[in-house]
Structure 1
Amino acid sequence: MTGRQQWCDAVLAGPGGAMTDEVGVITGPLTLRTTVLPDGGRVRIEVQYEDAEEWYTLTGSPVPHRGDPAAVHSAALAAVRAGHAAEAPRQARS
């Protein structure tokens, strides 16, 4: 796969935050990172508290990207903004 392999953006988690595998729900100002995995067909989605060092797996990650990993990143940003213990998007429009 050629092209961009990672996206990273600041996001304010909505009410109820984002669900992680490691520590449960996290809230507040976060950073969301989406990385294309070596298999090329899936992405890993992680979140961290703004300005922290430790990354947490967004529950449900890794996910397939159907040829457009940026669409998965956008869908994950929208989910975290909405809150409600947001998890990785199961399907993203490409």
Structure 2
Amino acid sequence: MSSEHSSLITAPPGGVWTDDVGVITGALELRTTCADNGEVQVSVRYEEADEWYTVRGGKAELHDPADAEVLHSVLAAVLDRPEG
């Protein structure tokens, strides 16, 4: 069964690199989707915006699709770094 996980984050200093539009900064939503075959895509968008952008390097394949939730948690912890 495919899965989707999302979290609100604040981009780290320097922002989050995307394949689509380069760097984005500020209040973002991080989304990790995983298909039944383990294909993962990590995307971000400005909080409450419509358009999603693929995080650079954000396409991969997991050996076990059940690991998608853990992957998302780690990515959210690494990327949620507000200045301060």
Question: What TM-score, normalized by structure 1, do the two folds share?
Answer: 0.75
CA displacement 1:1-28 (0-9 Å, x = unmatched): x4x6110111111111110001111111
Tell me whether 62-71 or 47-56 shows the greater mean CA deviation. 62-71
Displacement of 1:36 in angstroms is 0.8
Identify the structure with the greater strand proportion. Answer: 2
Aligned length: 80
Consecutive unaligned residues in structure 2, runs of 5 or more: none
Write out aligned runs for 1:12-91 (5 A). 12-38=10-36, 40-67=37-64, 68-82=67-81
The runs of 5 or more residues in structure 1 that have no matched partner are 84-94
Moved over 3 A (4+): none
Task: State percent identity of aligned pairs.
Answer: 40
Alpha-carbon displacement from aligned partner over 1:45-84 (angstroms, at most 9, x marks no partner): 100000111000001121223321111111221232248x
